[in-house]
Chain A
Amino acid sequence: MNDDDRTAMKKRVQRLVYMAAGGRISEADLGRYDTDLRQIGLDSLGYLNLLEGLERTFGVAIDLDHEEDHSFLHTIDNIVRYLVAQGGEAV
């Protein structure tokens, strides 16, 4: 995966976060990929929507039970790293 692909993936994830939060998080707050999403107001319902969106968009199965550390979901950067490691591709 080259840098362009990775950037495109970050933009898609950023869009999914925006949708998952139902517009409660401003696009300005989502401008940085290393911002902790919990700090800018992504709540448990927002995470539920985001996980659904990630699974359907990238064709991955995210099992929180088998992941000891949930920090892979804390920033857009981390989410993209996780998706790449899982072999996720936009479907």
Chain B
Amino acid sequence: MNGDPTRGPIQDALTDCLGRHRGRRAVVGSEALSYDELGGRIHAAAGWLRGVWLEGGAGGRAPRHVGFCLGNRPEYVILYFAVLYAGDLPLLLDANFNTGEIESIRSDCGLDALVIEPAKAARLEAPGKGDQVPFADDVVLLPLSRPGAPPFEPRPATQVCRFTSGTTGRPKCLEFSGHAVVSAARNWVLGTGMTGEDRTLCLAALSNGLAFNTSLLSSFLAGGELHFLKGAPLTRPVARRIAESGITRLVAFPTLYRNFVAPGGPDRSAMAGLKHAISAGAPLWPDVREEFRARYGLDISDYYGIAETGPCTFEREADHHSGLGRPLPGAEIRIAPGPEDPDGPEETGEVLVRTASMASGYLNHPGLFEQRLDADGFYHSGDRGRLVDGRLHLVGRTQDHINVAGRKIDPTEIVAVVSALDGVADAVAFPDEDLNREALVHLVVVAASPELTRAAVAAACRSRLASYKVPGRISFVAEIPRTGIGKPRIAVLREQLNASAGA
């Protein structure tokens, strides 16, 4: 960043947009801000931050680490850029992270403050918690003391950190250079045909790669409007917002689309202006896609993205109905046929990806990211798929992560928590579905003591795991079938559970 911590690719790109799109509307929440007003608010907030740190400027000091633990709203955007303009480092936490996960990030990566809601700040049990500094209605900066130097230092070019769920409650911290962040946004604009006429309603959390890359900076690069909805993303207020604000792009998740097509959902007229409905995070059910098309006359475009690489593909042709689209500009895909699937369809193998928006590494797991790159710098995604006429088709995963509402969960973390409980002899966790076909974590426990109840296991999980990691189903069995080397035989276990459920 050429020595000046207040300058960097993200700030330069945003400064350019603020000048070019002057007078247009930039962010719409409970109020609307033009590009001029957004710029004014960001610079005022950067000055406010320096005041909080009791400093005149950022020169000569290390960047402060500011964790964002907040739902989507205009203040998120303002403070995110303000932190960058102040020469500090934003770390975008999942707003659902629990105290344990926040504490592990704090000890691994160092956190000087959190941007958080005041009620949540009050509930947070953190040693060395300072007094809340109000920023806006329902948003405060919570200063945190650093007990010592964190064990890991970000790379000099790192401008943003985001997280993926890690093992044993330690989220993995991904470092992104400013160049990677700007490339992801630029290539999304180019590859999806985003323009200044686009009004994006973003309902996925900004800490998530989907929202971060498709909305936060890309909307501004294109000169478009970024809209947020207060309150729960129910179909009625979402449809009303789409109709009233002339929303052209909806960035959402499969459950919302399923609710749209359920009986009693909004009618076609409300959605007339919508040009792109984007779904990601978890696979969309094929029947929901078809019903959405039948009801609203619009295809839900899938895209493929990975936390570590950013957006990879997008389907631009409205009448093309299979696969996840072609690689976006700056993204290259290769398929590596693996020895693990000799019986798979032809040309099927692990999806390898190289993009201009790759992470630089995991801050708190040195070397782990690098291990997943091949000699040409392609990232081993863990997904299995094939390319058909240049379009990516996924067929499954080579790893046993569990994808719940777009968040990848490592089952070993859940098993570690449960195995530590008194009265648990053995445990295994694997992906399953509920009656609504939503992915869930199915935890199977062997009790060593008759006093171990389902409720006690559930309560222990709720107190020790982030809410999205809590198993959606808990079953008890007498024994978990395992292979000779002790690996759980999930398929056999499923059959046993199905047989006993049907009995």
Contacts and interface: CB of A to CB of B under 8 A. Distances in A.
Question: Are chains A and B native binding partners rather than an unrelated pairing?
Answer: yes
Interface of A: 19, 21-24, 41, 43-45, 47-49, 51-52, 55-56, 61-65
Contacts of A63: 231, 237
Interface string B410-435: 00000000000000000000000011
B438 A45 contact: yes
Contacts of B208: none
Interface stretch (B44-52, B257-265, B351-359): B257-265
Contacts of B470: 41, 43
Nearest to A22: B434
B236 A49 contact: no
B467 interface: yes
A49 B436 contact: yes
A52 B235 CA distance: 7
A22 B439 CA distance: 10
B458 interface: yes
Nearest to B258: A49
17 contacts: A19-B435, A19-B436, A21-B434, A22-B435, A22-B472, A24-B440, A41-B472, A43-B468, A43-B470, A48-B232, A52-B234, A52-B235, A52-B262, A56-B262, A56-B264, A61-B236, A64-B231
Contacts of A41: 458, 462, 470, 472
B438 A55 contact: no
Interface string B245-282: 00000000001100100111000000000000000000
Nearest to A61: B236
Classify chain B's interface size: 20 to 34
A64 B233 CA distance: 10
The 8 A-B pairs with the shortest beta carbon distances in the complex, nearest first, are: A22-B434, A22-B436, A23-B435, A56-B264, A65-B231, A64-B231, A24-B472, A22-B435
Contacts of B232: 47-48, 51, 64
Nearest to A59: B264
B233 A48 contact: yes
B64 interface: no
B434 A48 contact: no
Interface in B199-239: 230-237
B259 A49 contact: yes
B467 A44 contact: yes
B405 interface: yes
Nearest to A62: B234
Contacts, number: 57
Interface of B: 96, 230-237, 255-256, 259, 262-264, 405, 434-438, 440, 458, 462, 467-468, 470, 472-473
Nearest to A24: B472
Given A44-B96, A45-B405, 5 more contacts: A19-B435, A22-B434, A49-B255, A51-B234, A63-B237
B274 to A, nearest CB: 19
A73 B409 CA distance: 28
A22 B437 CA distance: 8
B439 to A, nearest CB: 10
Contacts of A44: 96, 467
Contact of A55 (B234, B436, B467): B234
A66 to B, nearest CB: 8
A52 B440 contact: no
Between A19, A44, A56, A64, the greatest number of chain B beta carbons within 10 A of the residue's beta carbon is seen for: A56
B459 to A, nearest CB: 8
Contact of B255 (A23, A48, A61, A65): A48
A61 B435 CA distance: 26
B263 A56 contact: yes
A11 B406 CA distance: 33
Contacts of B233: 48
B467 A43 contact: yes
A55 B236 contact: yes
A80 B435 CA distance: 24
A21 B437 CA distance: 11
A51 B230 CA distance: 15
Contacts of B262: 52, 56
Nearest to A26: B454
A65 B230 contact: yes
Contacts of B472: 22, 24, 41
A74 to B, nearest CB: 15
Contacts of B255: 45, 48-49
